[in-house]
Amino acid sequence: EQPVLKVGDWVDERWIDLDGVDSAQDDLRLRGASNGAVRFARGEGIYFGKDELYFCCTSGGAARLSQIMRYRPSPKEGHTFEKDAPGRLQLFIESSDAGTLNFGDNITVAPNGHLIVCEDQYTDVVDNHLRGITPDGHVYSFARLHEQTELAGACFSPDGRTMFVNIYSPAKTLAITGPW
């Protein structure tokens, strides 16, 4: 049965093995779900930071506007005794309003610990945003791109002073300075 997660809920992970992962029948997600796996809708951006991994489900959630999951690996990740101290999965953010988060895609973590999420929506709404998300889950608008194209690849310089982000079309890379 498909686990139901609510925002803020944590669940213990249990990895499952699946055969036929080349999925010639395009049914891997269905077979996984029938074996108890959580299905993620359009998994895209991923960032591994301080003992946590965040990833975007671009069209996830009841409104299909975006979800961000957080995973804390087991201290015994990948080892025989992992089942004694499993990793934990949390539904960190689920958008129910396009004005809050609309198709979160690429993701990074700023030096201040906030997530920076690039939106990737191609609908009647022209604007795509860079959204910030505080460690306690508050979503805020950081920047707005008034073009029918996506923002992608947000990342920080090694010294953490400059964030780089790409505009898909027309192709551009922006450098945005902090303080962060």
- For 87-135, the pLDDT digits (tens) are 999 999 999 998 999 999 999 999 999 999 999 887 777 789 999 999 9
Cβ–Cβ under 8 Å, residues 101 and 139: yes
pLDDT tens profile 49-95: 888 999 999 888 889 999 999 999 999 888 888 889 999 999 999 99
Looking at every residue in the chain, the average pLDDT score rounds to: 90
Q: What is the mean pLDDT of residues 9-14?
A: 91
Helix or strand or coil: residue 113?
A: coil
Q: Write down the pLDDT at residue 136.
A: 93
Query: Which among 61, 56, 154, 62 has a CA at the least distance from the CA of 111?
Result: 154
Interatomic CA distance for residues 104 and 54, integer angstroms: 12
Residue 80 C-beta-side C-alpha neighbours within 13 Å: 0
Confidence label for 43 from pLDDT (cuts 50, 70 and 90): confident
* 178 pLDDT higher than 60: yes
Cβ–Cβ under 8 Å, residues 66 and 93: yes
Angle at 150 between CA 53 and CA 95, to 5 degrees: 55
Interatomic CA distance for residues 121 and 102, integer angstroms: 7
Interatomic CA distance for residues 92 and 49, integer angstroms: 15
Q: Write down the pLDDT at residue 156.
A: 97
Q: Write down the pLDDT at residue 1.
A: 44
Local structure of residue 161 (DSSP, 8 states): S
Could you give phi then psi for residue 131, rounded to 5 degrees?
Answer: -110, 145
